[in-house]
Structure 1
Amino acid sequence: MNTAASPKAEYPADATDFAPSWVVAPGSAAAEAWAGNGHDDDAMPLRRWRLLMAARLLLALALLALQWHAWRAGNGAGWLVAMCGALALLAAATLVFRPPRPTQTPSVRRPLSWPWVLTAWSDLAVIAVLHWAAPGGVSFVPLFVWPVLLAAVVGPRLLALGVAAAGTLVLLAPLWRQTPANWGSGDALQAAIAGTGLFATAWLAGQLTARLGSAQAAARRSRQLAELHSHVNRIIAAGLSEGVVVLDAQGHPWYANPAAQRILHGEPARSDPSEARPAASSAGAHATAGGVDAVGVATAAVAADQATRNDGAATPGLAGLPVRQTPAWPVLAHWVHDVLSAVPTAAAAPAPVLERTLDLPLGERRLRRIHARLHPIVTDAGDRLAVLLLEDTHAIEQRLRTERLATMGRVTAAVAHEIRNPLAAIAQASALLAEDDPSPAQRQLLAIIEQNVQRLDRTVNDVLEAVRLPAAPEAPLAIPLDATITAIVQDWLRQHPQGERLHWLPGAWEARIAFDPEHLRRVLVNLLDNADRHASAALGAIRVETRLLGGHALLTVWSEGPDIAPTVREHLFEPFASAHPRSSGLGLYLSRELCRRYHADLGYERSLRAQRAGNAFVVRMPLR
Structure 2
Amino acid sequence: MSATQAPASERRRGERRAKRRPEPPEESWFGAIGVTDTQLGDSGGMDDAESRYEAGLASSANAAADSRFLTRQARRIISSGQTAFDRIYRVFLGARAALGVALILTVVVAFFFGARPTLPVILVSVGYAVLALSMWLLPRFNRAVHPHELARLRGPQWLATIGADIVCFTSLHLLSPGGSTFNYVALLVLPVLMAGVLTPRLQALATAAFVALALLGSAWASVLSGGDATALMTQAGLAGSGLFVITVLAGELAGRLAREELTAKGSLELARQQAQLNRLVIEEMQDGVLVVDRRGRVRAANPAARRLLAPTGMCRPAPFQLRGVEAWNELVKTVERAFNEAVWPEAGRDVVLEFSPGELRTLRVRIRFTRRTDSQAGEEFCVLLMEDVRNMQARTRQEKLAAMGRVSAGIAHEIRNPLAAIAQANALLSEDATTPSQRQLTQMVNDNVERLKRIVDDVMEVAPGSVVDARLIDASATVREACQGWAQGAGVSLGAGSAVSIDIAQDGLAAVFDPDHLRRVLINLLDNGHRHSSKASASVQVRLAAPDESTVRLSVASDGPPIPPDVERYLFEPFFSTRSRGTGLGLYICRELCERYGASIDYRLRTPGDATRNEFNVVMRRQPATAQETAAAAS
TM-score normalised by the chain length of structure 1: 0.70
1:63-74 pair list within 5 angstroms = 63-72=103-112, 73=114
Q: Show the counterpart of 1:279.
A: none
Name which of structure 1's ranges 207-216 and 259-268 shifts more when overlaid on structure 2. Answer: 259-268
Q: CA deviation at 1:396?
A: 1.5
Match of 2:560 among 559, 562, 583: 562
Match of 2:100 among 60, 82, 85: 60
Pairing 1:461–2:457 present: yes
User: What residue identity is the alignment partner of 2:230?
Assistant: S
Q: 1:557-608 CA distances to partner (integer Å, 9 max, x unpaired)?
A: 967543865968898777667665544454456567668878999899999x
Name which of structure 1's ranges 139-148 and 260-269 shifts more when overlaid on structure 2. Answer: 260-269
User: What residue identity is the alignment partner of 1:235?
Assistant: L
Match of 1:132 among 174, 194, 197: 174
Pairing 1:20–2:40 present: no
Name which of structure 1's ranges 467-476 and 444-453 shifts more when overlaid on structure 2. Answer: 467-476
Determine the C-alpha separation between the residues in 1 that align with 2:507 and 2:309: 47
CA contact (8 A) 1:20 1:35 kept: no
Pairing 1:115–2:157 present: yes
Match of 2:269 among 193, 218, 224: 224
CA contact (8 A) 2:331 2:353 kept: no
Determine the C-alpha separation between the residues in 1 that align with 2:225 and 2:116: 33
Q: 1:304-355 CA distances to partner (integer Å, 9 max, x unpaired)?
A: xxxxxxxxxxxxxx95536556546554454454454455xxxxxxx78555
Q: Show the counterpart of 2:281.
A: 236
Q: Show the counterpart of 1:394.
A: 390
Determine the C-alpha separation between the residues in 1 that align with 2:546 and 2:258: 63
Pairing 1:186–2:195 present: no
CA contact (8 A) 2:406 2:464 kept: no
CA contact (8 A) 2:349 2:364 kept: yes
CA contact (8 A) 1:536 1:561 kept: yes
Determine the C-alpha separation between the residues in 1 that align with 2:546 and 2:552: 6
What is the RMSD computed on CA atoms of the aligned residues?
Answer: 5.0
Pairing 1:171–2:215 present: yes
CA contact (8 A) 1:563 1:615 kept: no
Q: Structure 1 residues 578 and 188 mapped into 2: Cα distance closer, same or farther (>3 Å)?
A: farther
Determine the C-alpha separation between the residues in 1 that align with 2:554 and 2:341: 59
SS of the residue corresponding to residue 262 of structure 1 reads helix
CA contact (8 A) 1:371 1:391 kept: yes
Q: 1:535-570 CA distances to partner (integer Å, 9 max, x unpaired)?
A: 544577678999999999999896754386596889
Q: Show the counterpart of 1:321.
A: 320
User: What residue identity is the alignment partner of 2:375?
Assistant: G
User: What residue identity is the alignment partner of 2:198?
Assistant: V
User: What residue identity is the alignment partner of 1:88?
Assistant: A
Q: Structure 1 residues 612 and 34 mapped into 2: Cα distance closer, same or farther (>3 Å)?
A: closer
SS of the residue corresponding to residue 467 of structure 1 reads coil
SS of the residue corresponding to residue 185 of structure 1 reads helix
Determine the C-alpha separation between the residues in 2 that align with 1:555 and 1:260: 21
User: What residue identity is the alignment partner of 1:263?
Assistant: L
Q: Show the counterpart of 1:410.
A: 406
CA contact (8 A) 2:365 2:386 kept: yes
Determine the C-alpha separation between the residues in 2 that align with 1:554 and 1:339: 40
Determine the C-alpha separation between the residues in 2 that align with 1:540 and 1:521: 21
CA contact (8 A) 1:558 1:615 kept: yes
Q: Show the counterpart of 2:244.
A: 199
Pairing 1:88–2:129 present: yes
Determine the C-alpha separation between the residues in 2 that align with 1:340 and 1:243: 19
Q: Show the counterpart of 2:35.
A: 33
SS of the residue corresponding to residue 218 of structure 1 reads helix
SS of the residue corresponding to residue 109 of structure 1 reads coil
CA contact (8 A) 1:352 1:376 kept: no
Q: Show the counterpart of 1:8.
A: 24
Q: Show the counterpart of 1:286.
A: none
Determine the C-alpha separation between the residues in 2 that align with 1:445 and 1:327: 63
Q: CA deviation at 1:55?
A: 2.2
SS of the residue corresponding to residue 35 of structure 2 reads helix
Q: CA deviation at 1:255?
A: 3.7
Determine the C-alpha separation between the residues in 2 that align with 1:263 and 1:504: 31
SS of the residue corresponding to residue 189 of structure 2 reads helix
Q: CA deviation at 1:167?
A: 1.6
Determine the C-alpha separation between the residues in 1 that align with 2:482 and 2:302: 50
1:338-357 pair list within 5 angstroms = 338-341=337-340, 354-357=346-349
Name which of structure 1's ranges 128-137 and 481-490 shifts more when overlaid on structure 2. Answer: 481-490
Q: 1:159-190 CA distances to partner (integer Å, 9 max, x unpaired)?
A: 42233122212211234545699895210111
Determine the C-alpha separation between the residues in 2 that align with 1:499 and 1:179: 125
Q: Show the counterpart of 1:361.
A: 353
Q: Show the counterpart of 1:373.
A: 366
Q: CA deviation at 1:364?
A: 2.6
Q: CA deviation at 1:401?
A: 1.5
Q: 1:232-270 CA distances to partner (integer Å, 9 max, x unpaired)?
A: 22222223333333445555544443333333345699x
Q: Structure 1 residues 341 and 132 mapped into 2: Cα distance closer, same or farther (>3 Å)?
A: same
Determine the C-alpha separation between the residues in 2 that align with 1:552 and 1:61: 67
User: What residue identity is the alignment partner of 2:122?
Assistant: V
Q: CA deviation at 1:509?
A: 11
Determine the C-alpha separation between the residues in 2 that align with 1:118 and 1:5: 30
Determine the C-alpha separation between the residues in 2 that align with 1:260 and 1:557: 24
Q: Percent identity?
A: 32
Q: Structure 1 residues 499 and 107 mapped into 2: Cα distance closer, same or farther (>3 Å)?
A: closer
Match of 1:51 among 87, 91, 96: 91
1:597-612 pair list within 5 angstroms = none
Q: Show the counterpart of 1:272.
A: none
Q: Show the counterpart of 2:309.
A: 264
What count of residue pairs does the alignment treat as equivalent? 544
Determine the C-alpha separation between the residues in 2 that align with 1:216 and 1:552: 43
Q: CA deviation at 1:224?
A: 2.2
1:488-527 pair list within 5 angstroms = 496-498=490-492, 522=520, 526=524
Q: Structure 1 residues 392 and 604 mapped into 2: Cα distance closer, same or farther (>3 Å)?
A: closer
SS of the residue corresponding to residue 362 of structure 2 reads strand
Q: Structure 1 residues 407 and 582 mapped into 2: Cα distance closer, same or farther (>3 Å)?
A: farther
Pairing 1:162–2:161 present: no
User: What residue identity is the alignment partner of 2:560?
Assistant: P
